[in-house]
Amino acid sequence: ETGVTQSPTHLIKTRGQQVTLRCSSQSGHNTVSWYQQALGQGPQFIFQYYREEENGRGNFPPRFSGLQFPNYSSELNVNALELDDSALYLCASSSYKEGGGYTFGSGTRLTVV
């Protein structure tokens, strides 16, 4: 059973640029969520996808967008990067069949300079 894999592991971008982060869900999981974890804080919910449709969104602006593909992998896109977007971005997958709990990836560390 494969876990959740994220790429890249680290990324440095310049303010105003755009970035795409990728996530491969755990086998059998059809729901994927993205979280932002700023330094020294708990993760904050960005959005969730279920069967390729956005299924809920946290308090993040529209420049944060996402996609889920038929194989349940996912992308997080952030446009017009700001310095405050520097954080660890975590992808988590789950299956309603399993009931409760998400499997997290190791994250992508994004630094905006």
CB atoms under 10 Å from CB of 49, counted, come to 23
Q: Cα dihedral angle (13, 34, 77, 62), rounded to 10 degrees?
A: -110
3-state SS class at 88:
strand
How far apart are alpha carbons 22 and 43 in whole angstroms? 18
H runs (alpha helix) in 1-113: none
Residue from 35, 49, 64, 72 touching other proteins (CB under 8 A): that is 35
Binding flag, residue 43, other proteins (CB under 8 A): yes
Among residues 72 and 102, whose Cβ is nearest to other proteins?
A: 102
In the complex, least distance from residue 68 CB atom to other proteins, rounded to whole angstroms: 15
- As given in the structure block, the two tokens for residue 15 are 């303010």
The stretch near other proteins (CB under 8 A) out of 13-21, 22-30, 39-47, 66-74 is: 39-47
In the complex, least distance from residue 16 CB atom to other proteins, rounded to whole angstroms: 27
Binding flag, residue 58, other proteins (CB under 8 A): yes
Binding flag, residue 94, other proteins (CB under 8 A): yes
Residue from 13, 45, 60, 67 touching other proteins (CB under 8 A): that is 45
